[in-house]
Amino acid sequence: MAVNKELLNNSITKAITILNCFSYENPRLRLKDISAITGINQPTAYRLLNTLKEFNLIEQHEVSYSLGRGFLKYEGIVLNSMEIRRICLPYLEELSNNLKLNVNLAVLDDNEVIYVARAETPYCTYGYFHIGMRRPIYCTALGKVLVCKTPEVVSEVFKRDVNRYTLNTITDADTFLKEIEKVSLQGYAVDLEEWNNGINCIAAPLYDATGKIIAGISISGPTSMYSVEKLMEYVPILIDYANRLSARMGSRGGW
């Protein structure tokens, strides 16, 4: 039986569109919600959801749907395929052990910060974290270093609605552009309770051989233990590790 490739490709596109409509904010959706978000009519969406259920990529909960457990087996495969994660992990663990702080590695994905590795210490436990977690660029130190050379990304982000997570969250595009200009000049960024009350963070960029920022590393801790002054003492150490990792990525510095 011949397969209509155009029809198959169209179905795959629609199935991916359905999968992409789920998010941390909306982990469960009803059929009518999925249809409204994707623009796919309900009968077609229902048929595709049932097909995805057969492969455990979708789970049904009475009247709602969520992403299925079938995706979990891919997480380790994706993480193991990331060369930058493999190279950086020993450095993250060494830095975490030396400073008794949590150390994060993140990249830019779809104009958001996505965390791809973390080294944790029992001396600094706070909050909830998981690999693959996403955060906005405009209220995180990692976001600031990841876009400090690409203001066009900032302009795109601020075309959408931005949320004020704390009193310190930057919600004005011009203010943020001035902030990342400073980050670009000084070589590091700070997040002083901009994403989360009670958490301070500093971050530095990682460069590849072309001078492009490909990732960022950060250290963070609760304000009760790490005041602004205390955290700033670690800036030279963080930049040193960022430079060492950039060198591993082929950077010759001088950017």
pLDDT digits (tens, 9 = 90+) for 242-254: 999 999 988 876 5
Burial class (CB in 10 A: 0-12, 13-18, 19+), 131: middle
Mean pLDDT taken over the chain: 87
Q: Is the pLDDT of residue 132 over 50?
A: yes
8 Å CB contact between 124 and 100: yes
Rounded (5°) CA angle 39-135-98 = 155
Confidence of residue 127 (pLDDT cuts 50, 70, 90): low
**Rounded mean pLDDT, 117-129:** 68
Mean pLDDT of 63-91: 82
Mean pLDDT of 191-199: 90
Average pLDDT of span 194-208: 92
pTM (two decimals): 0.76
Domains in the chain (CATH in brackets) are 5-72 (1.10.10.10), 82-248 (3.30.450.40)
* Digit-coded pLDDT (tens) for 15-36: 999 999 998 778 899 999 999 9
User: pLDDT band at 3, cuts 50/70/90?
Assistant: very low
